[in-house]
Chain A
Amino acid sequence: MQIFTEKDKMVALIKANYHLLPVINRFGIKLGFGDKTVEQICIENGIDKSFFLAIVNAFHNEDYFPEQELLSFSPLLILDYLKQTHKYYTEYILPKLESQLTNMLSNSGPGKEEIGLIELFYKKYEKELLQHIRDEENVVFPYVVNLINNNLNEKRDFRIIDFKNEHTNVENQINDLRNLLLMYISPVYDQDLCNEFLITLSRFEKDIMDHARIEDVILVPRVMAIEKEMRG
């Protein structure tokens, strides 16, 4: 397992794992970093370097999940990171998947009814995911911010446990989309276009699993601890 440290060059991180590019973007880091180290870049950009390292290491190694470390950061840092991730999905990944799918559909031969099913499936998933994200941003995240500002609103009976219990799985449909294409849909489409779609999809799958893990295993216990403190 490769664990990055503050002394590593930022460029080495990216060379080791290209999928970290959107992750570092979420911290506001842009390319062109010469041979600066993680520490230097974090200082320049006003980023908490231990938080940065915890996030990139958890993303890079599925087996490495520094729960204890991550639990020590302010929930506001975590929220900010989660929001940036949502933005990446809604403004970049989803439109991209959609246009790749449309492209695939319009370049398909006879018998494209089957891909039409895929499009219906995708549209439904997209709608559900957007609702999922809206709920988090409009209800859950503001609740956490309020809580930190010492406003445990006793009148509203929402608690983070309600989020935990209702937090739906958003990865299953990605798995299904992939398997439907790989196994069951007749290949009447342009193969290159389909490959592009599948590659975007698998990158998204990894990203969103990491995202959900941070929500479930980091955000929830952290907020529960604060709730407990406040209510004694």
Chain B
Amino acid sequence: MSCRIFIIQNEDIIREGLAAILKRNPLNEVVILDSADQLMKHVKERSEKRVVFCPDDCFRHSAIEEINKNRKIKLVFVSVRDNGFIDKNSGISTISIETGSREILEIVNSHFDDGEGVKKELTGEELTKREKEILRFVASGFSNKQIADKLYISIHTVITHRKNITEKTGIKSVSGLTVYAILKGIIDTENISPAELI
């Protein structure tokens, strides 16, 4: 099953660059749209999962709400002003020209992964050293921000690590990850009882 991605973008550099990055994954099918109206038409007619890359001022606020209501569509704003971030309320990601290609592909994958879309099997792969380190912090109750500060990395990187951890282990919640970490001896329970951690 292919992953349909729409790009609405006037600037050639951004549009062509984005398309080239996205096409690195052979499953991705990139469609360039000329206008936001074209997208709205698509939204009304079809119901498959899609990711849409567009400038952050491309839609009126009401249109964004309308699109966001359709959970099959993921909007990703391409901003020339802001750094990359995820708006917690709307779930809309914003990428900047500094966002790496890996991260961009990741955003697309995660949309097609969850739920009914292309279901990725649990990889069951060993966690890397860095991932174990992050897991130890997560299990001990640290927030993404705190972890980022401790390890001198960006929040975005922490989030990417956490996503990979969840993908490898199949465990999503903090308390679930804590149980996993105890089981695997990633955090030791000699000085602190599991009851306090979970």
Contacts and interface: CB of A to CB of B under 8 A. Distances in A.
Interface of A: 62-63, 114, 116-118, 120-121, 124-125, 165, 172-173, 175-177, 179-180, 183-185, 217, 221
Given A62-B116, A120-B195, A172 B173 contact: yes
B145 interface: no
A176 B176 contact: yes
B148 interface: no
Contact of B89 (A63, A165, A172): A165
Q: For the side of the interface on B, what is the size category?
A: 20 to 34
B1 interface: no
Nearest to B176: A176
A121 B194 CA distance: 10
B172 A172 contact: yes
Interface in B151-181: 169-173, 175-176, 179-180
B69 A117 contact: no
Contact of B175 (A124, A183, A185): A124
- Per CB-CB distance, the 3 closest pairs between chain A and chain B, nearest first, are A176-B176, A179-B170, A172-B172
A185 B182 CA distance: 11
A185 B124 CA distance: 15
B20 to A, nearest CB: 33
Interface of B: 69, 71, 89, 116, 122, 124, 169-173, 175-176, 179-180, 182-184, 194-195, 198
Contact of A173 (B69, B124, B175): B175
Nearest to B180: A184
A113 to B, nearest CB: 9
Contact of B183 (A62, A173, A185, A221): A185
Contact of B171 (A116, A124, A180): A180
A114 B122 CA distance: 22
Contacts of B176: 121, 172-173, 176-177, 179-180
A26 B89 CA distance: 32
A121 B198 CA distance: 6
A117 B171 contact: no
20 contacts: A63-B116, A117-B182, A117-B194, A117-B198, A118-B179, A120-B179, A120-B194, A120-B195, A120-B198, A121-B176, A121-B179, A121-B198, A172-B173, A173-B172, A176-B170, A176-B171, A179-B170, A179-B176, A180-B180, A183-B124
Contacts of B179: 117-118, 120-121, 176, 180
A176 B180 CA distance: 10
A176 B170 CA distance: 7
A191 to B, nearest CB: 19
Nearest to A165: B89
